[in-house]
Each structure stands twice: as structure tokens, then as C-alpha cells.
Amino acid sequence: MLKLENVSKTYKTGDKALQGISFEVPAGQVVGLIGPSGAGKSSLIRCINRLVEPTAGSILLGDTDLTRLNGRNLRQARRRIGMIFQEYALVERLTVMENVLSGRLGYVSTWRSFLRRYSPEDVSQAFALLEKVGLADHYNKRADALSGGQRQRVGIARALEQNPELLLVDEPTASLDPKTSRQIMRLIRGACQERSLPAIINIHDVMLAQQFSDRIIGLRNGEVVFDGAPDELTNDVLTRIYGDEDWTQLRGEESDGESTDGSNDAPSVDLAEGV
Ligand SMILES: Nc1ncnc2c1ncn2[C@@H]1O[C@H](COP(=O)(O)OP(=O)(O)OP(=O)(O)O)[C@@H](O)[C@H]1O
Ligand SMILES: [Mg+2]
């Protein structure tokens, strides 16, 4: 479980990116974090893994207050958090398999990681994950030879190879086509359900957020202005989050999208069944 209490972030520039954010994410729940540009979505995700230092508040992962950790304790806690980024952050000249195994790097000793020696269990888990994300045949390809969708699947496998207790995902589909985006979201959702992982997914696409989240949190100006079920995202709520706009077209598209969910876009059974 993840619990945020009164988390605030004011950057040195004076930007108040987060103002008193409090919520809990129970095991297995996928939270879609939405809001306009500059609302504080990335700041929130980065405060949780301490890439950004929160100015105030506490962030509990299980019994550990992440805001109080330093040095070795912080590194250990970060191993418990799987990160999936928009820009994939793969090591280009390494193979798919090596990239996935690097999810274990926090666990293997320094000399072993230097020699890139992993235990047989780590390797067989990595193979199983590549199978699940539909990339088993590509395990020996270099990362720079993959398409965007394939790279993001490697990113997912790497995060899961870490056996995390929490997944933080920052715009996983921002540079992917609609069909690939849905496959990626389905994979992440499936993994969270299967492993009872709480997850926060920062996502711009409201329809995707609705379809693949258990709960939606809407941020505006660093504050939570909506926290509820995906089907409670009415036009009024969207206006509260994003400001005035004609939402009717989006609402129409959304109901079409739901009726075809899962029926026409998964080329392989693995993708449809999640991880
Ligand atoms: N390193 C930084 N230094 C100063 N201000 C920052 C920094 N990072 C973000 N901000 C400010 O904090 C606020 C929130 O930014 P953040 O990147 O968290 O928004 P976001 O919701 O992720 O936006 P987007 O949807 O565009 O990615 C903005 O006003 C931004 O200008
Ligand atoms: Mg952002």
C-alpha cells in the first residue's frame, strides 16, 4: 500500500507544483493520474521515488516513510519501486535480455553486476517476462533496433523483473499509436492485477485512463480536484480538471471505444491476457 499525506513541493523558482496532496493506493489498484500540463503529475511521481525532494509531507510505502530516507536506505527503498517512463530509458547498445536483467541490478553484488552475471532464477524470470510481453523471440536484439512499442514492453519487463511493490508510470503511451497504447496499458493493468501491485499512471489520454484504471485522480494547480471511479468522469468533472471545453465529442468516442474493448486490437494472446 502507498499512502501520501499532505505532500507539497515548491521548486526553488517558487513554482508551487504540489499543494497538500493526500491519498492512499491499496494493493492491486491502478490509479490514472490526469490533469492539464503543469498540474504537477510528473512532480508527484518524482516525489514518490525521490527524484524530486518533496518540500513537506510524508509518503509511506508499507511501513517505510520514503521522505525520511537517505543514502543506502533510499537506494534499497527505490528497488521496491518499478518505474516505467515515456522515453523508455533503455541502454541502447545492450540487448533486450540485458536490459530486462538490469532490473535486478539493485540486487546483485557490485562485482557480479560489473561482470553482468545474474542468477539462473533471474534469467529464467526475465525469459518468462519477455514471453509475457510478446518479445521472447527478440531477446538477443539490441535495444536500438526495436520499435517504440517494443521498447516500452522491454521497459515493462524490466520494471517487473525488479519484483517491485509499487509501479510508477509517467506517460507510458505518449509517443505510441492508439492500438499499441492500448496494448501497453493492458499489459500494465494485467501485471498489477496479477501481482497485487498498486500503480500510479500519469496519462494525458482521458479515454485510456478511463478504460484501464480502477480509479482516477485529477490534479489541477498542484491540488486534487477529483478522486473517484472512472465512470464518474462527467463533463462537469472534466471541466473542473481541465477548464472549459466542449467535451461531448470525447464522451461520444469513449462509449464507442468501450464497446470494442479487447475485441480487435490484440495480435497475440499474451498481450490480451496481461502479465
Ligand atoms: N525542475 C523544476 N524547476 C522549477 N519548476 C518546475 C520544475 N519541474 C516542474 N516545475 C513546475 O512545476 C509545475 C508542475 O510541473 P509538472 O512537470 O509536475 O507538471 P505535469 O502535470 O507533469 O505537466 P505535463 O503534463 O506537461 O508533463 C509547473 O508549473 C512546472 O513549471
Ligand atoms: Mg509531466
Question: Does residue 55 belong to any structural domain of this protein?
Answer: yes
CB 57 less than 6 A from any atom of ligand 1? no
pLDDT of 129 > 50? The answer is: yes
The pLDDT tens digits for 222-257 are: 999 999 999 999 999 999 999 887 777 666 554 444
- The total domain count for the chain is 1
Question: Does residue 160 belong to any structural domain of this protein?
Answer: no
Question: Does residue 148 belong to any structural domain of this protein?
Answer: no
Mutate to test the pocket of ligand 1, among 34, 41, 43, 86 (most ligand atoms within 8 A of CB): 43
| Nearest-atom index, ligand 1, CA of 35 | 21
Question: Does residue 172 belong to any structural domain of this protein?
Answer: no
* CA 117 to ligand 1 center in whole angstroms: 39
> E strands within 62-214?
64-65, 81-85, 166-170, 199-202
pTM beyond cutoff 0.85: yes
Task: State the Cα–Cα distance between residues 194 and 192, nearest whole angstrom.
Answer: 6
CB 86 less than 6 A from any atom of ligand 1? no
Non-local (6+) Cβ contacts of 88 within 8 A are 148, 151, 152, 154, 155
**Could you identify the residue written with the cell 557480479?**
112
CB 38 less than 6 A from any atom of ligand 1? yes
The whole-number pLDDT of residue 262 equals 39
In terms of Cα–Cα distance, which of 275, 89, 79 is closest to 170?
89
Query: Which ligand has its closest atom nearest to the C-alpha of 36?
Result: 1
CB 82 less than 6 A from any atom of ligand 1? no
Question: Does residue 9 belong to any structural domain of this protein?
Answer: yes
Question: Does residue 251 belong to any structural domain of this protein?
Answer: yes
Question: Does residue 38 belong to any structural domain of this protein?
Answer: yes
Q: What CATH number did the domain enclosing 248 receive? A: 3.40.50.300
* CA 65 to ligand 2 center in whole angstroms: 24
Structural domain boundaries, residue 238: 1-78+203-275
Question: Does residue 152 belong to any structural domain of this protein?
Answer: no
Task: State the Cα–Cα distance between residues 123 and 14, nearest whole angstrom.
Answer: 47
Which of 74-88, 97-111, 192-206 is most confident? 192-206
* CA 43 to ligand 2 center in whole angstroms: 7
Query: pLDDT class for 174, splitting at 50, 70, 90?
Result: confident
The whole-number pLDDT of residue 112 equals 59
